[in-house]
Structure 1
């Protein structure tokens, strides 16, 4: 395809590459386990580094730009040293455990929230850099796996709200459950319309089929990204993703004017860091899903695929921060009504229309 670099037909997965470098071509079971662990460790740290930049620094700078303020600019060049400074500050704070909390649910909740997003990246095709393909696994059920992994976050929010022994936290947890159920269904149904087009749940195949040219205008080839093929589904998915990651107008589970900080009101120190970090990792996981299903994955001109992957997930992050700064919060009853009476109906309508189109094409 003119100007775009699609993925290889059968790229070597990251653990296989690491295994060959360390142990040669024939690997024992324990060697495969070590290679898989090292690959997972690398991918996890890449995403944690992105979340570490986004939380303390990028979020503040972007919000300041939208609201005509300066934001952090005193600690290091452009305020970049706020990243390690904030990490040290938060982790050095005392970990306060309120009386009456339900442990170990209280202790496990932030771990569940953060880890559920990280495991989702296991099947995401992130493209390649320096000839190395950055994908841990490529199962035939990859799409089902990534949505299942992302949905585990709801369990963490419910655990935090219930275990905190605080009525505001409990309310935040219940709101999170109601919100995620109301918007996860439209999210999955909209993704199913993409799967109808591709005929597969395998993430690499979903990306590969978007590498075909859609139309050529004035010598410029537009790829078959599903954002172009089905823009209605793309808009539905982006809106539902805002609800899944808790960004305006859907940040009801932690609305500070109503329930203090919702499910994480009683958390401090390293537990708060895990909640805060998990929130941004989930935003990037949502961006990775949008990139894979609608934006051609890591495909793009000139630059390595992994660079394009990062550009696209950061573009999604920028959109979520714009929504946070510009879109007013809705009430909880309005949120539920939008989900069940609006998004659900539209997502099924899109699925039926897609099925008809695919049936006619075949």
Structure 2
């Protein structure tokens, strides 16, 4: 049985009329605020603190442990430190584009969470084209990266922006093709339907999550997602040892916070997409659905941080070859094979 969207659930809890347009607008804004706050809280925990702790564990070092219990107050310290710094605008910058780029990078991923089912009734909207909508909003971050690189009037930033375009073109197509193979299995682009299609048992207690049904597609999607969120071995648009910090070189203060925030929000959006289309969404025993959903997206985050610590960066020419000659061919083969299997068995 499909749950009611979050705005309708909130209206019923407050004893309001869910058929009223004004009530639903207010409830939608409240629901968006709740989901946005949840994901921003996870991002705040991941960026300044968890990233350092995980990287230190992988590389046998000691991370932040002095400011507050387990070093957790580093989140507050970093926020105060970064937000209190001077915002330096580079000479010759294209100011409107330079100002807008961090906002686009940070906000586009938050839009994607609007259609992600996070638990019983915790879904802001459930359109029939939900998966296409998520891919569309996630890809909009490329616009922000290009704007940041071009508008900064810095050659290193410009190179980073060009690399971001090349990388996204090479890996978003395999990402979407691999997602399309899941759509063939589920028979729908609607996120709730994709989750519902994974509720049956595959073999014994093993659920019919598409990560088990088609592990090849799952691995392809994981690799393409690393490129989409800019994690090793695909952190070419930033590449600190080559182009300073790429597209974000000229950003400081609150603008740097927005760019940095956007990077981690996109990592969690990638984890949310993987959890939804390959890992059964919020499905899991005993614990509430929202808890399982958060466990799964943090599992994907842990994988991206392992890749950042353990996998060396590839060169830009290698990155393009892997994308166009490797990932694209494999994702097309997976799509065709999935279509044949479903066509024969249905």
**Structure 1 length normalisation: TM-score?**
0.95
Answer whether contact 2:16 2:23 (CA < 8 A) is retained.
Answer: no
Match among 132, 138, 150 for residue 138 of structure 2: 150
Match among 266, 272, 276 for residue 256 of structure 2: 272
RMSD over aligned CA atoms reads: 0.8
Matched, 1:163 2:151: yes
User: Counterparts of 1:305 and 1:168 in 2: how far apart (Å)?
Assistant: 44
Match among 181, 194, 207 for residue 169 of structure 2: 181
Deviations 1:268-317 (A, max 9, x none): 00000000011000000000000001000000010000000000000000
- Structure 2: which 5+ residue stretches go unaligned? none
1:314 aligned partner: 298
1:117 aligned partner: 109
**Structure 2 length normalisation: TM-score?**
0.99
1:54 aligned partner: 46
User: Counterparts of 2:246 and 2:37 in 1: how far apart (Å)?
Assistant: 28
Deviations 1:118-140 (A, max 9, x none): 00000000013xxxx21000000
| Deviation, structure 1 residue 162 | 0.4
Secondary structure at the counterpart of residue 340 of structure 2: helix
- Structure 1: which 5+ residue stretches go unaligned? 1-8
Answer whether contact 1:23 1:31 (CA < 8 A) is retained.
Answer: no
Secondary structure at the counterpart of residue 72 of structure 1: coil
Answer whether contact 1:72 1:82 (CA < 8 A) is retained.
Answer: yes
Match among 51, 56, 59 for residue 64 of structure 1: 56
Secondary structure at the counterpart of residue 330 of structure 1: coil
User: Counterparts of 1:313 and 1:171 in 2: how far apart (Å)?
Assistant: 31
CA shift in 2, pair 1:260/1:361, >3 Å: same
| Deviation, structure 1 residue 28 | 2.6
Match among 232, 238, 241 for residue 225 of structure 2: 241
Match among 9, 15, 32 for residue 24 of structure 2: 32
1:4 aligned partner: none
| Deviation, structure 1 residue 175 | 0.2
| Deviation, structure 1 residue 19 | 2.1
Answer whether contact 1:109 1:157 (CA < 8 A) is retained.
Answer: yes
Answer whether contact 1:126 1:298 (CA < 8 A) is retained.
Answer: yes
User: Counterparts of 1:26 and 1:134 in 2: how far apart (Å)?
Assistant: 16
User: Which 10-residue stretch deviates more, 136-145 or 30-39?
Assistant: 30-39
| Deviation, structure 1 residue 22 | 3.6
2:245 aligned partner: 261
User: Counterparts of 1:43 and 1:177 in 2: how far apart (Å)?
Assistant: 29
Moved over 3 A (4+): none
Matched, 1:134 2:126: no
Deviations 1:7-39 (A, max 9, x none): xx2201111122233452354322211110000
User: Counterparts of 2:317 and 2:153 in 1: how far apart (Å)?
Assistant: 24
Deviations 1:83-132 (A, max 9, x none): 1111111111111111110021000000001100000000000013xxxx
Secondary structure at the counterpart of residue 214 of structure 1: strand
2:345 aligned partner: 361
User: Counterparts of 1:261 and 1:354 in 2: how far apart (Å)?
Assistant: 40
